[in-house]
Structure 1
Amino acid sequence: MFLAWNEIQKNKLRFTLIIGVLMLVAYLVFFLSGLANGLASLNREAVDKWDASAIVLTEESDKSLVASTMTIDEAEAMEADKTAVLGQINAIARTDDQKANVSIFGIREDEFIMPEVSEGEAFSADNEVIASDTIKEDGFALGDELELSSTDEKLTIVGFTEDARFNAAPVLYGDLGTFQRVKFGEAAEANEDQINGVVVRTDDISAVTDNSELEAIESETFIENLPGYTAQSLTLNFMIYFLFAISSVIVAIFLYVLTVQKISMFGVMKAQGIPSGYLARSVVAQTFILAAIGVAIGLILTLVTGAFLPAAVPVAFAIPTMLIYGVILVAVAIIGAVFSVLTIVKIDPLKAIGG
C-alpha cells in the first residue's frame, strides 16, 4: 500500500487522468441507475401503493388491466383476506390552460386500495376525484374542473395523494359510479356492475378464485407485463452491465501500459529481492485506491446533479443500489488489474535491466 500510494503522489497527473475516466464511468452508471429506477417508478407507483399480493384479471386479457372485464358478483365470490374492486380507463384531462394524460381508477372508499390524501380531502360526491400530486407539475390544482377526451362528464379535483402513477400517467381516483359514467356514458346504469379487476391481499394466491375464466396474477408479474416496462428495464440494465465491462477494460489498458513502462524498474526491484507477490499486491492496492476515489467522486457528482434536475426528469436515486454498483465498479477495476499482475510475475530481472 505504501508503494502504491507513494507512486500515485509522485505521478499526480497520470493517475488523475485514470481517476477522471473512472469517475466519468461511475457517474454514467449511477445516473443510468437513477434513470432506470425513476422510469420504473413512473409505471408502477400506483401498483406498489396497493401493497397487494395479486390482482385478478380475466384469462383472455393477457394480464392487461384495461383489457379485462368482469362483474362485481364475480369479485364477491373470491376468497382472500382482503379484496378491492377496481375499474380503470385511460383519458386525456384538460382545463382551459392545461392538458395531461391520466389513468382513472374506480374504487370503493372503504376498501384497502383507497389512497391516503396528502392535500385536500377524499372524494365524497359524484365526479369528485383524488389526483396524483405529480399532476401539479402540469399546472393542475385543487378545485380544477377537468374535461375528459372520452366523455362529456367533468371531474373535479378535491384532493391529492403522493406517489400514484400508472403506466407513466398520473392516477385520478374516484368512486365506481364516476368511473362507470366516464367509461360508459349514458349506458352507465346498465353497466353498473362492470369492473376491470380485483386487487387482493392473501397468503394463498392459488385459492383466490376457482373461476376458470379468471386468473390471479402476482403483483410483480402484473407490473412486468405493463406495456414497455420490461423492455425499458432490460435496456437500461444492459447499458449499466456493459459499462461495468467497459470500466474493467479501461483500467486493464491503463494499468498494463503503465506496467510496461515500468518493466525495467520492476526488474531492478525483483533483482534486489523484492518478491513478485509484493509488487502484485502493490498494483492491486493502487487500483483499489484509484477506483475508490473515482467512484466516490462519481457518486457525489451524481447526487449533486440530481439535486438540480427539474422535476420533469424521471430520476430516482436509490442509495443502497448505488452503493452496490459502486462496489461492483471497484471490483471489476481490480479484476482489470489482473493483466498487469500477470505481466509483473513474468518479468525476468536480468532481461528487464538489460542483462
Structure 2
Amino acid sequence: MNIAWKEIKKNKVRFLILGSIVFLVSLLTFIISGLANGLSQDNAALIKDLPEGQFYMTKDADQTINLSRIDNGVQDKILNKQKEAVAFSIQMGFLNDSDDKQQSVAFVTSTVSKLFTNVKKGEIVLDRSMEDKGIKVGDTLTNNQYSGTFLVKGFVNQKKFSHAPVAYINMADYKEIYRVDAMQMAFIPGEDTTKVIDGLESFTKKQFLKTIPSYSAEQMSLNMIVWFLVVISGMLFTIFFYMMNVQKIGLYGILKAIGVKTSTLFKMMWTQMVFITVIALGLSVALSRVFNMIAPKGMPFSLTTTTTVQLSVVFLIIGFIGATLSGLQIKKVEPLQAIQQGEV
C-alpha cells in the first residue's frame, strides 16, 4: 500500500491522465445509460409498470399488437378462470383540444381491473405530460371518430406507450372510435401463470416489450454503446499498466531480488487501480446526478441508484481484469536479468 501510494505521488501526471480518461468514459457511460432508461420508460412505461405475468395475443397476429383480436368467448373464459386477469387494448390516435389542436396519444381501455385506470363513458384520464400542453381537469376534448366529447377527469404519472402519453377511455368509447368488438390482448399477473390457450401466443413481460415498435432497436443501440464504453475502459487500464510495467522491469527485478513476492507487486498495482477508479467514479456519479436534476423536463433521462451501482461495480471489475492482464508479465521477470537491463 505504501509503495503504491509513493509511486502515485511520484508519477502524478501519468495517473492524473488515466484518472481523467476513466472519469470521462464513465461519465459518458452513466449519461447514455440514463438516456437508455429514460427512453425505455418513455417508450413503454405503461407495460413496464405492470407486475410480472403472461401477456397473450392471437397467434395469427404475428406478434403485432395492432393485428391481434381476442375472441370474446376466449376472453370470457380467461377472465372467469383467472380472477386477476384483464383484457386490454392499445391504439395510437389523437385528441382535439379546446383550440382544435391535435394531440397525439395512445388510447388505452381495459376490462375492470386495478392494473389499469377505469373510467366511465365520455370520460378520459391522461398522462400528466398533457398538462404541459395546457390541458386541465374539466376540459372537453374531441376525436374525429367519436360522436361525443371526452371530459378530462384527471391525470396519472408516467404512463407512456410508444413515446406517446396514454389516454384511458371507456371500452364502449374505444370500440366506437376503432369500430371493433374485440380486445387486443389479455394479461394474467403472476410469475407462475404460464398457461397454454388455444389460438393465443403467450409472452413474458420482457418478450412483450420487444413487440413494441422501435423498442428493441432503440434499447439495443444504446446498450451496445454503454458496453462498448465499458470495454474501452478495460482496454485503457490494460494498456496503461502494461506500459508502466515495461518501464519498471528493472525495479521489479530489484524488489524480487530482495524478497518481495509477486503477489505483493500485484496488490500494489490493484491498489493503484482501485484508487484511480474510485475517485473517477465518485466524480462521474456526482456529475451524472447533477445532470439528472438539471436535465430539461422534456428529455427522457432516468438514472436510478441501482443502475449507477451496477455500472460502478462493472467498471471496478473491468479495471481489475485489465490491470491483472497487464501484470502477467511481472510473473515472468527474472531478478538478475531485469537488474542487468536496468530501470528505464
- Given the two structures, how large is their TM-score scaled by the length of structure 2? 0.88
Distance in structure 1 (CA, Å) of the matches to 2:144 and 2:29: 40
What one-letter code is carried by the residue in structure 1 that aligns with 2:185?
G
Distance in structure 2 (CA, Å) of the matches to 1:52 and 1:341: 45
What one-letter code is carried by the residue in structure 1 that aligns with 2:77?
A
Name 2:234's counterpart in structure 1. Answer: 248
CA apart distance, 1:149? 5.9
CA apart distance, 1:50? 3.6
CA apart distance, 1:332? 1.0
Matches within 5 A, 1:1-355: 1-51=1-51, 53-78=53-78, 79-95=81-97, 96=99, 99-108=102-111, 110-115=112-117, 123-124=119-120, 126-148=121-143, 154-184=149-179, 191=180, 193-201=181-189, 203-206=192-195, 209=197, 212-354=198-340
Question: What secondary structure, in the 3-state scheme, does the structure 2 residue paired with 1:205 have?
Answer: coil
Distance in structure 2 (CA, Å) of the matches to 1:114 and 1:276: 62
Question: What secondary structure, in the 3-state scheme, does the structure 1 residue paired with 2:49 have?
Answer: helix
CA apart distance, 1:159? 0.7
Q: How many percent identity over aligned positions?
A: 25
What one-letter code is carried by the residue in structure 2 that aligns with 1:244?
V
What one-letter code is carried by the residue in structure 1 that aligns with 2:105?
V
| Offset from partner CA, 1:12-68 (integer Å, 9 cap, x none) | 332121111111111122222222222221232112334362233221112332221
CA apart distance, 1:297? 1.6
Structure 2's unaligned 5+ residue stretches are none
Name 1:118's counterpart in structure 2. Answer: none
Contact 2:145 2:176 (C-alpha < 8 Å) held by counterparts? no
What one-letter code is carried by the residue in structure 1 that aligns with 2:193?
D
Distance in structure 2 (CA, Å) of the matches to 1:85 and 1:63: 17
What one-letter code is carried by the residue in structure 1 that aligns with 2:68?
S
Contact 1:106 1:177 (C-alpha < 8 Å) held by counterparts? no
Contact 2:139 2:151 (C-alpha < 8 Å) held by counterparts? yes
Structure 1's unaligned 5+ residue stretches are 116-121, 185-190
Distance in structure 2 (CA, Å) of the matches to 1:177 and 1:12: 71
- Shift of the 75–286 alpha-carbon distance from structure 1 to 2, 3 Å rule, reads same
Distance in structure 2 (CA, Å) of the matches to 1:255 and 1:307: 36
- Shift of the 226–351 alpha-carbon distance from structure 1 to 2, 3 Å rule, reads same
- Shift of the 304–348 alpha-carbon distance from structure 1 to 2, 3 Å rule, reads same
Question: What secondary structure, in the 3-state scheme, does the structure 1 residue paired with 2:28 have?
Answer: helix
Distance in structure 2 (CA, Å) of the matches to 1:183 and 1:23: 52
Distance in structure 2 (CA, Å) of the matches to 1:43 and 1:3: 52
Contact 2:75 2:186 (C-alpha < 8 Å) held by counterparts? yes
Contact 1:270 1:276 (C-alpha < 8 Å) held by counterparts? yes
- Given the two structures, how large is their TM-score scaled by the length of structure 1? 0.85
- Shift of the 338–70 alpha-carbon distance from structure 1 to 2, 3 Å rule, reads closer
Distance in structure 2 (CA, Å) of the matches to 1:336 and 1:111: 52
Aligned residues: CA RMSD: 2.5
Question: What secondary structure, in the 3-state scheme, does the structure 2 residue paired with 1:239 have?
Answer: helix
Distance in structure 1 (CA, Å) of the matches to 2:266 and 2:199: 65
Contact 1:102 1:171 (C-alpha < 8 Å) held by counterparts? yes
- Shift of the 74–272 alpha-carbon distance from structure 1 to 2, 3 Å rule, reads closer
| Offset from partner CA, 1:57-80 (integer Å, 9 cap, x none) | 221112332221234343112232
CA apart distance, 1:261? 2.8
Question: What secondary structure, in the 3-state scheme, does the structure 2 residue paired with 1:337 have?
Answer: helix
Contact 2:54 2:193 (C-alpha < 8 Å) held by counterparts? no
What one-letter code is carried by the residue in structure 2 that aligns with 1:91?
G
What one-letter code is carried by the residue in structure 1 that aligns with 2:89?
G
What one-letter code is carried by the residue in structure 2 that aligns with 1:200?
I
Contact 1:49 1:113 (C-alpha < 8 Å) held by counterparts? no
- Shift of the 205–279 alpha-carbon distance from structure 1 to 2, 3 Å rule, reads closer
Distance in structure 2 (CA, Å) of the matches to 1:352 and 1:150: 84
Distance in structure 1 (CA, Å) of the matches to 2:40 and 2:308: 16
